[in-house]
Amino acid sequence: LKFTLLAGGATGPRAGLLELPHGVVETPVFMPVGTRGTVKAVDNLDLQSLGVALLLNNAYHLWLEPGGEAVEAAGGLHRFTGWQGNILTDSGGFQAVSLAGPDAGGARVSEEGVDFPAAGGRRLLSPEAAIRLQEQLAPDIMMTLDQPVLFPADAAQQLEATERTHRWAARCVAAWTRPATELFGIVQGGFDPELRRQSARAIRALGFPGYGIGGLSLDEPPEQIPALLQPVTRELEVDKPRYFMGLGSEPELLAAIACGADMFDCVLPTRLARTGSVLVGAGRLNLVNRAVADEAGPVEPGCTCACCTRHSRAQLRFLFLRGELLGYRLATIHNLHHLAELMREARAAIMSGGFDGFRERRLAVSGVKPRL
Ligand SMILES: [Zn+2]
């Protein structure tokens, strides 16, 4: 891994080049989520056409099926999925909270690891198992196992999860055997700026080539993001990439870029697309609910994606009302293009020193009210 910062410093907006085994990634970058090694409704050629250079796959879901051994036997994720760009896998730490409630299945955390519900009994994902699994998957970047907490956790819970995350990170480093896959450490710290700063310092001490910033975008008020992110970016080395995990709405992405984050992922654009919601300006438009039946224009005026240059809002609405499969693909292509374009434009603005003005314009031009 080689990361070259082309503009910006530790805490403000930055533009960089991340060189990985399967190509160069321009940052800031949004990674589409391919949960089981595939981004729902689109194929590798669609992703290539969208300029995607780095894809996220979920280790947890691939662990359940087809399993690390099966992917390894098929030659690793690149051979298994046919994706020739870069792949980052998350570790399963997020699922420790997203599957924690009894309704969600009841994932349980102990010092040993995360005990998940699984077909035929429970399965333990320890830090060592998370590394072993990801090494079987053989992505370009893998992540340490961490323990996020949901907002609003109390101070004792936040401290306990953060300190455990640090111990697990050290265990992940000790278990890491294949240097061909880079390992990023994950900063936690709950919703306390000082604890976040301490977490960044503790994770930094372990000598990772890059960092995940975890445990945010977990129901905390979005306007808290800068206060929780800046203590972290201030503490981390300026010349290492920072990946803000799980963030996907435009106002929040712009806020995180402004604080010095480089990499992002979220299921939001692909999940929204499958419900007929498209990203327009800094907001979104639901093609199913809104009266767009007679609109002959594109989903987003001015958009150059394969959906907007060929298809109308009226057709997209019809496709969704009838459950035609093409609708899911076109809306997914548009939403991913929308965020890729946001990153390209943000990058150009950072390089020319005009990011603040760009951000204000992006949030102002929308005909749809932004969530922030
Ligand atoms: Zn479009």
> Would you call 304 exposed, middle or buried from its count of C-beta atoms within 10 A (0-12, 13-18, 19+)?
exposed
CA of 263 to the centre of ligand 1 (A): 22
What is the pLDDT, as a whole number, of residue 4?
98
Largest CA distance in the chain: 61
CA of 42 to the centre of ligand 1 (A): 14
For the question of residue 90 being annotated catalytic, the response is yes
For the chain, how big is the Rg over CA atoms in Å?
20
218 contacts 247 by C-beta, under 8 angstroms:
no
Q: How far is CA 64 from CA 41, 73, 87, 120, 149, in A?
A: 21, 16, 19, 11, 23
Consecutive H or E run containing 187: strand 182-187
What is the pLDDT, as a whole number, of residue 120?
81
Cα separation, 243 vs 155, whole angstroms: 25
DSSP string, 115-176: EEEETTEEEEE-HHHHHHHHHHH--SEEE-------SS--HHHHHHHHHHHHHHHHHHHHH-
Cα separation, 327 vs 333, whole angstroms: 10
Pairing of strands 182-187, 211-213: parallel
What is the pLDDT, as a whole number, of residue 88?
98
Neighbouring CB atoms inside 10 A of 132's CB total 15
What is the pLDDT, as a whole number, of residue 218?
85
Cα separation, 365 vs 359, whole angstroms: 10
Cα separation, 340 vs 354, whole angstroms: 19
Give ∠ CA 299-272-260 in degrees, rounded to 5.
Answer: 95
For the question of residue 46 being annotated catalytic, the response is no
State which residues of the chain have pLDDT below 70.
104, 291, 293, 365-372
Pairing of strands 86-90, 108-109: unpaired
CA of 302 to the centre of ligand 1 (A): 8
CA of 290 to the centre of ligand 1 (A): 18
Of 46, 140, 262, 265, which residue is the catalytic one? 265
39 contacts 85 by C-beta, under 8 angstroms:
no
Predicted structure pTM score: 0.96
CA of 305 to the centre of ligand 1 (A): 4
CA of 160 to the centre of ligand 1 (A): 44
Cα separation, 269 vs 39, whole angstroms: 11
Q: Which of 185, 67, 214, 84 is nearest to 140 (CA)?
A: 84
CA of 5 to the centre of ligand 1 (A): 30
Using CA atoms of 324, 330, 336, 342 in order, give the dihedral in degrees to the nearest 10.
Answer: -130
CA of 226 to the centre of ligand 1 (A): 30
Identify residues whose C-beta is under 5 A from ligand 1, the ion. 300, 303, 305, 307-308, 334
Of 90, 140, 146, 262, which residue is the catalytic one? 90
